[in-house]
Structure 1
Amino acid sequence: MTTTERPEVRSRMRHYITQRLIMKGDLSPLSDDDLLFTSGRLDSLDAVELIMSIETDYGINFSDIGFDLTRLDSISAIAALVQQPSAEPA
């Protein structure tokens, strides 16, 4: 079964991440596949904030699915995580 991508997920995540980058003074362009954490553009505090946002907005419990920073390392990765059937709330 394939999951239909919801464009609003990418749009919301792009907005959220862009705002975090702007707060850090990072005004560089951002594509959906740019690495966020391994590149150093975002840090561990940003990861916590992002996880809290995803848990609140999408009902995903990282305790249930396990934490793996690579699943948050780009807008594309976040969109894939949020749209996975196993990550969707029951």
Structure 2
Amino acid sequence: RKNEPKYRSAHYQPLNEIYQNLNQHKDWERQLKTKLRDKEFELSQCSDWQLQQKLQHEVLVLEGRVSRCQQALTKIEQTIMKRERKG
């Protein structure tokens, strides 16, 4: 994130960069969902109580990350719709 260009608002960011940002977030969402499915499967196969606790925590953390990523995707999509309406 440090290397990403900072804009005061999406108004100043070129539309093609907003689309690139959208694609990047979609890729992150896909990766996070894959990790989440893997952890949930691992948790379902686990019989060790301590490991179950650890995996449950990891699942919760991943669910939060997926949720934040989806919120960002929604915001980016709304920005694109507004920009395209304005022309």
TM over 0.5: no
Normalised to the residue count of structure 2, the TM-score between the two structures is: 0.33
Bigger helix share:
2
